Homo-oligomer: A and B are copies of this chain.
Amino acid sequence: MTTAADTYTPTDRTVPTRSRERASYDKALVHSILDEAYICHLGFVRDGAPVVLPTLFARVGDRLYVHGSTGSRPLRATGDGVATPGLPVCLTVTHVDGLVLARSAFHHSLNYRSVVAHGTAHQVTDPEELRTALDALVDQVVPGRSADSRPANTKELAATAVIRLDLDEVSAKVRTGGPNDDPEDRSLPHWSGVVPVRGGYGTPVPADDLDPAVAVPDYLTAL
């Protein structure tokens, strides 16, 4: 049985105008798409115009944290986080899983998984929450890394700003499977199918000044 606790509630802006069958509000699906990423594209409005910047993010439960310096444009707009109304944002995460080649140009597509979250972001001001968010931001990129690095000191904390977006008005969109050619096109001589898209990591490259006695840690080998 699906309960309200398992799903986000659709709203006018999380119901797509096209390909509605690809949309989902399932929390587990939304979280899995977010957890596989560490880069989002954060949109906000400045002087009436849209701005989209790639930014590190992390998920902690039903909260997303986005990293920035205190000098960055979106964060300045959130003011001190408490006294200001916050910054309306749209945070989008996309994975491309395959190139879908149909016989017709029209039916070419991509297999993908995306999440679009709308809401109002606020700067994190609570010191404990800021520490939690910073650890999560490091661990979102390399799980286990925050425990194996020097934590931020007071000066660094003061120079770092993190904004929070609560997951509430959010949806996933997923396409899977092969091309959907029209029946009359199936005898055309063109190859059709899916080219899988893969992400991966190369061999870690030590810093120039790294003591050669320091081995590559297990959490990197596990990537």
By a beta-carbon cutoff of 8 Å, the part of chain A in contact with chain B is 13, 17-18, 39, 41-46, 48-54, 56, 69, 71-73, 76, 88-92, 94, 96, 99, 101-106, 108, 110, 112, 114, 116, 118, 134-135, 138, 141-142, 145-146, 148-153, 156, 159-160, 178-179, 181, 185-186, 188-210, 214-217, 220, 223
| 8 pairs of residues in contact across A and B, judged by CB atoms under 8 Å | A41-B92, A48-B88, A49-B118, A108-B145, A150-B188, A186-B209, A194-B205, A198-B199
Beta-carbon contact of A145 and B101 below 8 Å: yes
Beta-carbon contact of A202 and B198 below 8 Å: yes
With beta carbons under 8 angstroms apart, the residue of B18, B45, B142, B217 that contacts A71 is B18
Beta-carbon contact of B46 and A52 below 8 Å: no
Beta-carbon contact of B199 and A197 below 8 Å: yes
A185 and B150 contact, Cβ closer than 8 Å, known pairs A71-B17, A118-B49, A198-B202: yes
* Chain B residue nearest in CB terms to A108: B138
Which B residues touch A46, using CB under 8 A? 13
Cα A114 to Cα B39 in complex, Å, equals: 12
Which B residues touch A54, using CB under 8 A? 41, 92, 94, 112, 114
Beta-carbon contact of A205 and B190 below 8 Å: no
Which B residues touch A105, using CB under 8 A? 134-135, 138, 146, 149-152
Beta-carbon contact of B178 and A195 below 8 Å: no
Beta-carbon contact of A50 and B141 below 8 Å: no
A207 and B220 contact, Cβ closer than 8 Å, known pairs A13-B51, A54-B112, A112-B54: no
Q: How far is the CB of A133 from chain B (nearest CB, A)?
A: 11
* Chain B residue nearest in CB terms to A54: B94
Which B residues touch A193, using CB under 8 A? 204-207, 210
Q: How far is the CB of A162 from chain B (nearest CB, A)?
A: 12
Which B residues touch A56, using CB under 8 A? 110
